[in-house]
């Protein structure tokens, strides 16, 4: 089997992107496990498959490296550019079907490829996140010798945001992040966003993603979750620059959540399996 693909990234959040419309017999979840492997595959934080839709020009299937389906803000923006380049999307605005529903995308700048996505309203109801706590969205999570005050919410994928005075060291980050990801409070696990508020309009984050991803350089929904958590904690500003190891994303929450930033093609190839 030979599969043409494109490697894309947004603030270091990298994806293998495949036009899957003409394929009928591929088990995409199993392919994701193989193709995302950084030693024996192409290597990526996730697999994006462009599929047909009855509700929008295309559907995005996003799969983690463990084969689980998920929602991804940077993935949505990447597949929007891919669909435009492939001719599936025309004009400056369009819609894409996702696991969360129909999402709107806008090509703000097609020279620099600044793509904005409307991620809809954040999910704050505990059973829908899901989290096994009625005190959501802000709750205290005991983990061994520590108790973390966290803001828990979902944007189609669950996030646990922990504000700290400083971004945690590797020792703290790599020890507590997987314990939080798989904490009994989260039946479907959770992404963990460590956040440092620099001002009402600027937040620095470090990201741990569920689904056998681990640390990532960037996360679109995670950046949005950080700003939403900041607002729920009392911020007077509804927008921010969110800085991660991979770069800067721009987030605004005004009823619905808007995420914008640059997306890039890295290389193309053919995957043989």
Residues designated catalytic = 72, 219
d(CA 227, CA 243): 11
Cα–Cα distance for residue pair 249/10, rounded to 1 Å = 9
- Beta strands 202-209; 2-10: pairing state: unpaired
The length of the chain in residues reads 273
The CA distance from 99 to 5, in Å, is 22
Query: CA 235 to CA 218: how far, in whole Å?
Result: 23
b/e per residue 31-67 (b: at least 16 CB within 10 A): bbbebbeeeebbebbbbbbbeebeebbbbbbbbbbeb
Helix (H, G, I), strand (E, B) or coil at 36: coil
Distance of alpha carbon 194 from its chain centroid, rounded?
15
Structure tokens at 267: 């290389």
DSSP state, residue 167: P
- Contact 135/167 with Cβ under 8 angstroms? no
Query: Which residue intervals of the chain are DSSP H helices?
Result: 28-35, 73-86, 170-181, 220-232
């Amino acid at each position: 089997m030979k599969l043409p693909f494109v490697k894309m990234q947004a603030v270091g959040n990298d994806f293998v992107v495949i036009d899957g419309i003409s394929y009928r017999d591929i088990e995409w979840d199993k392919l994701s496990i193989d193709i995302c492997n950084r030693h024996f595959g192409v290597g990526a934080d996730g697999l994006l498959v462009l599929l047909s839709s009855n509700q929008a020009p295309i559907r995005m299937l996003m799969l983690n490296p463990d084969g689980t389906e998920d929602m991804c803000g940077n993935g949505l923006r990447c597949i929007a550019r891919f669909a435009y380049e492939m001719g599936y999307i025309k004009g400056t605005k369009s819609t894409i079907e996702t696991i969360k529903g129909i999402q709107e995308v806008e090509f703000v700048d097609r020279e620099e490829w600044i793509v904005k996505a409307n991620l809809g309203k954040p999910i704050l109801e505990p059973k829908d996140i899901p989290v096994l706590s009625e005190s959501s969205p802000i709750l205290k999570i005991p983990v061994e010798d520590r108790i973390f005050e966290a803001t828990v919410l979902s944007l189609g994928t669950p996030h646990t945001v922990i504000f700290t005075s400083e971004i945690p060291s590797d020792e703290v980050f790599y020890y507590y992040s997987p314990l939080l990801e798989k904490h009994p409070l989260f039946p479907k696990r959770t992404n963990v966003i460590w956040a440092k508020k620099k001002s009402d309009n600027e937040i620095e984050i470090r990201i741990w993603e569920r689904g056998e991803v681990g640390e990532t350089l960037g996360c679109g929904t995670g950046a949005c979750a950080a700003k939403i958590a900041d607002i729920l904690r009392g911020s007077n500003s509804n927008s921010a620059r969110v800085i991660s190891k991979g770069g800067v994303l721009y987030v605004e929450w005004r009823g619905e959540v808007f995420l914008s930033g640059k997306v890039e093609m890295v290389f193309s190839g053919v995957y043989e399996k």
